[in-house]
Amino acid sequence: MASEPIPVDILLPDSWRQPAQYRLKNGMSLVGVDVPAGFITDGASVPRMFWWLFPSVDRYFDAAAVHDYLLSQDTEWSKAADAFNEALKETAVPGWRRVVMVTSVRLWGLFQ
């Protein structure tokens, strides 16, 4: 389980419509996936209207970074979603929140 926030550089967008991005200062490892230093993620890709319940950066940031990294490595969407689910479990994200997030990721994957 991650006990400390991962150090990142915040990359601000050109427009308020775009999400901030985060460059990992150090590599990280979660559920057997090694994400290298320098990898850029947007955290959890949550529509802005739901940020009050699911902010794009929260205790699930590590799991989102693993998911984004796997997709950047051409991992099949369903396998990246499975790893996301396992990473959420490993970082002790509550079950109800995990179900909502993984279901959303899987549904979004149908349109990719």
Q: How many separate domains does the chain show?
A: 1
Summarised one tens digit per residue, pLDDT across range 35-72 is 999 999 988 887 777 777 777 678 889 999 999 999 99
Is there a domain that residue 50 lies in?
A: yes
Is there a domain that residue 2 lies in?
A: no
- Cβ–Cβ < 8 Å for 25, 9: yes
Q: How far is CA 102 from the centre of its chain?
A: 11
Residue-number span of the structural domain to which 24 is assigned: 8-109
Q: What pLDDT was estimated at residue 45?
A: 80
Is there a domain that residue 83 lies in?
A: yes
Q: Give the H/E segment covering residue 23.
A: strand 21-24
Neighbours of 1 (CB within 10 A): 9
Is there a domain that residue 1 lies in?
A: no
Summarised one tens digit per residue, pLDDT across range 73-90 is 999 999 999 999 999 999
